Amino acid sequence: MSKTRVILVTSCKGGVGKSTVTANLGLALARSGHRTLLVDCDFGNRCLDLILGTEDEMLYDISDVCEGRVEMNEAAVTDRRSSNLLAVAAPYLAPEQHDFSVPDKEVFCSKLTAAGESMQLDYILIDTPGALGAPLELAAAAADSALIVSTHHPTALRAADGTASALSALGVTDCSMVINSFDPDSVLLGYRAGVIEMIDRAVLGIVGVIPYDPVFAIGGEHGELVYELDCRNVTAAFDNTAARIRGETVPLFTGWKGIKRKKLLKR
């Protein structure tokens, strides 16, 4: 078996949809036949289990694994939508708690490596909080590459550039960007930047563009992922992103309907 690829999904800016991208991209990879483990490293503010709709199934978390109480395969919950998709929760921070303990980096890395081999994983996606700090440093220690999630707002694009610089200092230099909540109409009307201008602003290559869809946004509040919803362009977008991560050459807007693709690339 080839080495498990560990991908960090992050941004120094909150509210851009990191956990949503992690969950749906993980399912896209799983549906293409690749065993994928999602690891929530948003310590104290976990939400990946809510997005997946597995909050009642998560008996253990990544701290239980790192502290030796259970093995990764015991902590991981298999997703109802694909047997190739598994997820491990972050520790839950109770209201009376004010801090959390981040696992040792070497232990964390060794647990991911062992899980990759024993669970025959193709990908591990690590979800992180929207800030610099110990959880990001922990995830960066294990990552082969990073997906930096942004929207097409100028503040988010500037944060994406800053995130890439921070990751480079942590030793993660293979970084690409995923544009989430992309509004094609605002680009076509000239209110927002096109894809090429976004690349220029963030100085990052784009591996995926996920369009905004209210059905998708509301579905995520109820533990539903894109393949359960009637969101054709969003579904195509996650399939395209997964394909590009796998190394395939796929145009960003393949499968999108009702849009003028060339105009979305404008500067």
Residue 205: its pLDDT value, please?
85
How is the beta sheet containing 85-88 ordered, strand by strand? 77-78, 85-88, 36-40, 123-127, 5-10, 145-150, 175-182, 206-211
b or e along 91-124 (b: 16 or more beta carbons within 10 Å of the residue's beta carbon)?
bbeeeeeeeeebbebeebbebbeebbeebebbbb
Return the structure tokens found at 93: 């921070």
pTM comes to 0.92
Residue 226: its pLDDT value, please?
94
Kind and range of the H or E run holding 8: strand 5-10
Residue 234: its pLDDT value, please?
95
If one counts the domains in the chain, the total is 1
CATH of the domain at 21: 3.40.50.300
Domain span at 240: 5-264
Residue 200: its pLDDT value, please?
67
pLDDT means over runs of 10, the chain (267 residues):
86 89 98 97 87 93 95 97 96 63 91 96 93 88 96 87 93 94 79 71 83 90 92 95 95 82 60
Residue 107: its pLDDT value, please?
96
